[in-house]
């Protein structure tokens, strides 16, 4: 079974998983084939894949003081650049430690790409030719005070685009019409953060879920607050992980917790330090959670958070799940194929896929894994 797209941050299901199952497990005999290497400029956005295009959000310097952020589309078969659209001025890393350019990952449908620039320009861009269809200037529209750049990634629900605004006086979180850019609703208070929202269907209702500051919040389709939970940790960068039918897992560098939601009431399942996601969101498979925890790949139980195993050597890496396998990239560009099993760490293959600092999670579609650093992207065929 194949999956032909990777449509948004953390994939089509917002949980870092692919429905694909036919992947090559014998890397020693048949090493993954390099099918793409291309300079793309700086940025941390995940690579987005449609049925026929590869979408990249990046930046280029004009001179030592300025530059632009761009959306770029490539032909998925030929790797040829199809169009390139400037979306905002470039974010510059004044400290020189983390790199320049966008942090947010765009979302796509058949007609458009929806992106959020570092300085708060929410735009819809034509998938066909790169023309800007509409723009909302979040700083101007909502009068939120300038501060940290926008780093959260939008998520789609039907014809809506759900995003974190970061603001007070009921201007923290919002929904926009994908066709027009018009505001559907805005509610709640929160600060601008790295953490991106997720969406869950619980008890037959839709929950728009945000982890922000010290609160985990849920909003309905119409923007009404359904519940708010005081988290036992703060500063979550990793996106909340929904585990059907009604559990939500949250982790930060301080620890992790799991809650259960019933009739819009929240019950804590566990709260411990067995998983400590600093940046990358964990993945779930068959009763267990797999994630990067203070430099190690770990497996913990969904039931009580009990640690099953850990393997060091991944730094600030990240992972996705393809079927019953984990594709794990270290922050030094080593890609490993690992069994998603709680029994023990089982490594099926390893390659040096890309060099430099790697802090962007992989993307996967059509049997191809896409990776990026702060200058280039590469892709390997592994089906």
Domain coordinates of the chain in residue numbers? 17-381
pLDDT of residue 146: 53
Strand 318-322 to strand 17-18: parallel, antiparallel, or no bridges (unpaired)? parallel
pLDDT of residue 145: 64
pLDDT of residue 130: 98
Alpha-carbon distance 43 to 70, whole Å?
A: 10
Mean of the pLDDT values across residues 138-163?
A: 87
Alpha-carbon distance 126 to 111, whole Å?
A: 6
pLDDT class for 180, splitting at 50, 70, 90? very high
Alpha-carbon distance 7 to 156, whole Å?
A: 10
Give the torsion sign (CA, 233, 237, 240, 241): negative
pLDDT of residue 147: 65
pLDDT class for 194, splitting at 50, 70, 90? confident
pLDDT of residue 289: 98
Query: Is 252 a residue whose pLDDT tops 60?
Result: yes
Mean of the pLDDT values across residues 269-296?
A: 97
Write out pLDDT tens, residues 60-116: 988 877 899 999 999 999 999 999 999 999 988 766 677 889 999 999 999 999 999
Q: What percent of the chain has pLDDT over 70?
A: 98
pLDDT of residue 178: 98
pLDDT class for 234, splitting at 50, 70, 90? confident
Classify residue 335 by burial, with Cβ atoms within 10 Å: 0-12, 13-18, 19+.
buried
pLDDT of residue 246: 98
pLDDT class for 142, splitting at 50, 70, 90? confident
What's the 3-state SS for the chain?
CCCCCECCCCCCCCCCEECCCCCCCCCCCCCCEEEEEEECCECCCCCEECCCEEEEEEEEECCCCCEEEEEEEEECCCCCEEEEEEEEECCCCCCCCCCCCCCCCCEECCCEEEEECCCCEEEEEECCCCCEEEEEEHHHHHCCCCCCCCCCCCEEECCEEEEECCECCCCCEEEEECCCCCEEEEECCECCCCCCCEEEEECCEEEEEEEECCEEEEECCCCCEEEEEECCCCCCCCCCEEECCCEEEEEECCEEEEEEEECCEEEEEEEECCCCCCCCCCEEECCEEEEEECEEEEEEECCCCCEEEEEEEEECCEEEEECCEEEEECCCCEEEEEECCCCCCCEEEEEECCCCCCCCCCEEECCEEEEECCCEEEEEECC
pLDDT of residue 61: 86
Q: What percent of the chain has pLDDT over 90?
A: 84
Query: Is 139 a residue whose pLDDT tops 60?
Result: yes
For the domain covering 17-381, report its CATH number: 2.130.10.10
pLDDT of residue 334: 98
Mean of the pLDDT values across residues 297-305?
A: 98
Query: Is 38 a residue whose pLDDT tops 70?
Result: yes
Mean of the pLDDT values across residues 38-62?
A: 95
Alpha-carbon distance 340 to 286, whole Å?
A: 9
pLDDT of residue 62: 86
pLDDT of residue 186: 95
Give the torsion sign (CA, 331, 334, 339, 342): negative
Average pLDDT, the chain: 94
């Amino acid at each position: 079974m194949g999956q032909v797209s990777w449509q948004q941050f953390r994939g089509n299901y917002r949980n870092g998983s692919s429905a694909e199952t036919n992947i090559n497990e014998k890397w020693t005999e048949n090493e993954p084939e390099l099918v793409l290497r291309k300079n793309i400029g700086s940025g941390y956005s995940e690579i987005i894949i449609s049925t026929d295009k590869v979408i990249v959000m990046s930046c280029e310097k004009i001179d030592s003081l300025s530059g632009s952020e761009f959306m770029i589309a490539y032909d998925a078969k030929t790797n040829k650049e199809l169009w390139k659209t400037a979306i905002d001025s470039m974010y510059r890393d004044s400290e020189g430690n983390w790199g320049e350019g966008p942090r947010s990952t765009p979302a796509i449908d058949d007609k458009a790409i929806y992106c959020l620039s570092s300085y708060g320009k929410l735009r819809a861009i034509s998938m066909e030719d790169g023309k800007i269809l509409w723009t909302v200037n979040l700083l101007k529209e909502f009068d939120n005070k300038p501060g940290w750049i926008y780093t959260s990634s939008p998520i789609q629900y039907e014809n809506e685009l759900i995003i974190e605004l970061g603001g007070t006086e009921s201007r923290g979180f919002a929904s926009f019409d994908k066709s027009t850019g018009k505001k559907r609703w805005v509610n709640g208070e929160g600060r601008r953060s790295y953490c991106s929202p997720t969406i869950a269907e619980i008890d037959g209702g839709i929950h728009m879920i945000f982890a922000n500051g010290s609160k985990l919040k849920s909003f309905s389709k119409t923007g009404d607050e359904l519940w708010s939970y005081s988290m036992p940790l703060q500063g979550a960068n990793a996106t909340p992980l929904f585990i059907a039918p009604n559990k939500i897992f949250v982790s930060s560098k301080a620890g992790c917790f799991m809650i259960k939601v019933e009739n819009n009431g929240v019950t804590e399942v566990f709260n411990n330090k067995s998983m400590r996601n600093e940046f990358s969101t964990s993945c779930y498979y068959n009763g267990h959670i797999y994630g990067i925890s203070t430099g190690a790949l770990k497996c913990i139980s969904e039931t009580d958070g009990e640690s099953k195993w850990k393997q060091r050597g991944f730094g600030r890496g990240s992972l996705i799940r393809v079927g019953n396998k984990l594709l794990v990239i270290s922050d030094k560009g080593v890609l490993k194929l690992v069994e998603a099993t709680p029994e023990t760490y089982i490594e099926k293959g390893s390659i040096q896929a890309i060099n430099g600092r790697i802090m962007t999670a992989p993307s996967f579609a059509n049997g191809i894994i896409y990776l990026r650093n702060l200058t280039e992207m590469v892709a390997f065929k592994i089906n």
